[in-house]
Amino acid sequence: MNDYNAISLWKDVTPELWNDWHWQIRNRLSSVEQLSQVINLEETEKHIIRDSLNTLRMAVTPYYASLMDQNDPEDPIRIRSVPTMMETMIMPEDMVDPLHEDIDSPAPGLTHRYPDRVLLLVTDQCGDYCRHCTRRRTVGETDRARTKEEIDLGIDYIRKTKGVRDVVISGGDPLTLETGRLEYIISALHSIDHVEMVRLGTAAPVTFPQRITEEFVEMLSKYSPIFLNTHFIHPKEITEEAKAALKLLANAGIVLGNQTPLLRGINDCPYIMKELVQQLTYNRVRPYYIYQCDLSQGISHFRTSVQEGIDISEFLQGHTSGLAIPQFMIDAPGGGGKIPVPRNLVGRDGRIVYVRNFEGDTFQYVEPENLMAPACPQACQICYQRVERGQDMPPVGLQKNFHRGVWQTINARPNP
Ligand SMILES: *Cc1c(COP(=O)(O)O)cnc(C)c1O
């Protein structure tokens, strides 16, 4: 379990406080000074973090920070929540609102893109601000929930729009709302005849699993069917605390899924992805989607080629249970919606990938310009060990397609 008392900042924190999600949110690390009490930062890094913070605020829960390797800037936990200078780089293909969520919006925070389902953003607050956030144009802006009046406008729209049978509640992170506030929203939706199901999109099991209390799951279980999609991006996040949270939810009959973007330097490796989806499945979380990283401003360093996502999907196919295989999607820039790839990939022209959506319209995704292969220490550990144990063989295509240096590194290692 977590030895947070070893970190001087939290040496006097009792288990009661540590396990209280309100304490976790109140004590998020939001300045360089606080962060440097938990991980070792070089002076230059401190300046860089300060400079990057005007794009998207930083707020790391003590729990999530306690999972970080104190000395490793490549630690996936650290990359997820600590800004780097890369965020200040804006590419020509970057867009403020690539998914047109604000444009296709008939009520505050509500996006109605598909005929039968809507997205309702109830807050811009998150437990922990992911550096790869696609909604960084608004997320963290106020670090608050929407007002009841605004949320009511969204619910009114859903009530009078008979075609809506599925409501995705997201944010921000809706689980930063108090249980009573959330129950108000969920019960209002549940009472609408044509709304058949409610989904929650949340990273709480990842960054503040203390949020998943018995009281909370009891509330949710009254409004079945409830689906909850989590946002695990790396196997290192599946801790004892996270597993306990998932178990509470699954035991209460909440149907669990996971959505992860494909992120360069974090999970763009077939072995890491396989480890992630298998561990999720073991914890009763169905891997739902892998997304191609969106064209939001300042996240180009996280993007991979589209081919990498296709290669990873092909690798998973056959190498693990079908139940553990997520669908690879591109959320089309310009508001075309989610498009399955390679099924709906209709062409390529240099860095431009053409994809066709469910309405037959074609959209363009622009791949990143520089795809240098950075070193990938986590990947090597996982695949090196697995290959050593004879559990896996590299599929032939991957040996040459994968430019992450994974196989070269393995082959270059001396035999122990
Ligand atoms: C992702 C999303 C949904 C839900 O889509 P599914 O593919 O059913 O998970 C609904 N509305 C919007 C605007 C979305 O972005």
Ligand 1 near 132 CB (within 6 A): no
Measured in Å, residue 410 CA sits from the centre of ligand 1 at: 39
Residue range(s) occupied by CATH 3.20.20.70 in the chain: 110-366
Ligand 1 near 100 CB (within 6 A): no
**Count of CB atoms situated within 10 Å of the CB of 376:** 22
- Is 247 one of the catalytic residues? no
Helix locations, 68-165, DSSP H: 76-81, 148-160
- What are the tens digits of pLDDT across the range 203-237? 999 999 999 999 999 999 999 999 999 999 999 99
Sorted by sequence, the CB contacts under 8 Å of residue 365 that are 6+ apart come out as: 292, 295, 306, 330, 332, 333, 352, 353, 355
Catalytic residue among 130, 269, 376, 380: 130
Cα separation, 367 vs 91, in Å, equals 11
Q: Which residue has tokens 């503040």?
A: 208
CATH fold, domain 110-366, is TIM Barrel (3.20.20)
- What are the tens digits of pLDDT across the range 146-191? 999 999 999 999 999 999 999 999 999 999 999 999 999 999 999 9
- Is 113 one of the catalytic residues? yes
- What are the tens digits of pLDDT across the range 31-71? 999 999 999 999 988 998 888 887 899 999 999 999 998 98
**Count of CB atoms situated within 10 Å of the CB of 108:** 17
pLDDT band, very low/low/confident/very high, at 72 (cuts 50, 70, 90)? confident
Cα separation, 311 vs 11, in Å, equals 45
Sort residue 289 into left (φ over 0), alpha (ψ -120 to 50) or beta: beta
- Is 129 one of the catalytic residues? no
Measured in Å, residue 11 CA sits from the centre of ligand 1 at: 43
Residue 385 pLDDT: 39
Which burial class, exposed, middle or buried, applies to 340 when counting CB atoms under 10 A from its CB (0-12, 13-18, 19+)?
middle
Is 13's pLDDT higher than 60?
yes
Token couple for 44:
């230059």
Mutate to test the pocket of ligand 1, among 111, 168, 259, 343 (most ligand atoms within 8 A of CB): 168
Catalytic residue among 20, 104, 114, 354: 114
- Is 94 one of the catalytic residues? no
Ligand 1 near 119 CB (within 6 A): yes
Establish whether the linkage from the previous residue to 172 is cis, with ω within 30° of 0: yes
Closest atom, ligand 1, to C-alpha of 111: 13
> Contact, 29 vs 59, CB < 8 A?
yes
> pTM for this one?
0.90
- Is 338 one of the catalytic residues? yes
- What are the tens digits of pLDDT across the range 300-314? 999 988 988 998 898
- Is 331 one of the catalytic residues? yes
Cα separation, 287 vs 197, in Å, equals 19
Closest atom, ligand 1, to C-alpha of 101: 13
